[in-house]
Amino acid sequence: MTGRAARRILALALCAAFLAGCASPLKRAKVHYARAQELDRSYESGPAAAAMKRALLEAGAAARKNPSAQAYTLKGLAEARLERWADAAASFRRAFAFGFEPGESWAADVALLGAALSFEASGLADAAGRVYAHLMARSKFAPVRTAAAGKHVDLALSRALAASDKDRDKALAGLVKDVGRLLDDDYASGFAHYLLSQVLAHRGELRPSYEEAVLARELGLPSEKVLRDNDNQIVYCRDRVREALGPEERAAFDVVHDAWAARWGWRDARTPPWKKE
């Protein structure tokens, strides 16, 4: 057993023992939330979301049983992490009413994001795009900033596709800068590298796009679906990069790519483990 595995088992055992001894839903919510944050920091985003879902169930019970700023703040944080924006805004407003000062601005950011999502759903893409760009640049609440970044990039890419060549190049260059600022804030964000990889592919820069997608996979992604999309990006870029290389360079590229594929447990150079056989 490796040291890391042993530490993980010990942490799980301690966590389980602590949970068993916890009497109140609020305490259990805090333990699950702390565990989710720890997993997030280790880029284990799937288990982190699961821990957050458990934290949400317990925080919801705590808020019903004994309403408090802490219970509503925890509930709002878990809801935001799980992208339940309208619920999160309501929880932060309740937390503010119970005396949690930042709750007001967090609720405003979350509500703004919810409004932008509604704008987009009802066809007001330009208005939604402006709000996403604002939140991506200004929000102090990280879950909102990340979600807004994804939406901003997607909308901007769709507008760029419809533009003339010159305007498209300009828009894509702007997007590279936008995502670059996100990376300046947190270079270890797998999601930001995923976004950059997507933008670079639109610019036809497939080797850098491949490298960003590899980095994103290594750093961790926020959901199984994003991970799968990123894997498809890796396969697409890998195919196209290989096609453009001479025999010697291609062989060297294959050695590197095959090493990554083996490290990730892929069945072969083009087949991630989640693909149906």
15 Cβ neighbours under 8 A, 6+ residues apart: 31, 35
Whether the CB-CB separation of 116 and 134 falls below 8 Å is answered with no
Q: Does 104 bind another protein (CB under 8 A)?
A: no
# chain residues binding another protein, by CB under 8 A: 38
Residue 259, class by beta-carbon neighbours within 10 Å (0-12 exposed, 13-18 middle, 19+ buried)? exposed
- Binder of another protein out of 193, 202, 217, 257 (CB under 8 A): 202
Largest Cα separation within the chain, whole Å, is 68
CA distance 114 to 37: 24
Q: Does 242 bind another protein (CB under 8 A)?
A: no
Q: Does 124 bind another protein (CB under 8 A)?
A: no
- Binder of another protein out of 28, 30, 54, 145 (CB under 8 A): 54
Of the ranges 125-133, 134-142, 176-184, 221-229, which one interacts with another protein (CB under 8 A)? 221-229
| Placement of tokens 């916890």 in the chain | 22
The least CB distance from residue 101 to another protein, in Å, is: 29
Q: Does 42 bind another protein (CB under 8 A)?
A: no
| Placement of tokens 């530490």 in the chain | 7
176: tokens are 């590279």
The least CB distance from residue 129 to another protein, in Å, is: 13
Of the ranges 62-70, 98-106, 150-158, 256-264, which one interacts with another protein (CB under 8 A)? 150-158
Q: Does 126 bind another protein (CB under 8 A)?
A: no
Of the ranges 23-31, 43-51, 98-106, 127-135, which one interacts with another protein (CB under 8 A)? 43-51
CA distance 28 to 19: 6
Q: Does 173 bind another protein (CB under 8 A)?
A: no
Q: Does 143 bind another protein (CB under 8 A)?
A: no
Whether the CB-CB separation of 191 and 150 falls below 8 Å is answered with yes
SS3 state at 199: helix
- CA distances to 112, 116, 117, 120, 140 from 127, rounded to whole Å, are 11, 7, 10, 8, 21
Q: Does 26 bind another protein (CB under 8 A)?
A: no
The residue ranges that bind another protein (CB under 8 A) are: 46-47, 49-51, 53-54, 57, 60, 83, 147, 150, 153-154, 157-158, 161, 194-195, 198, 201-202, 204, 222-226, 228-229, 232-233, 236, 239-240, 274-276
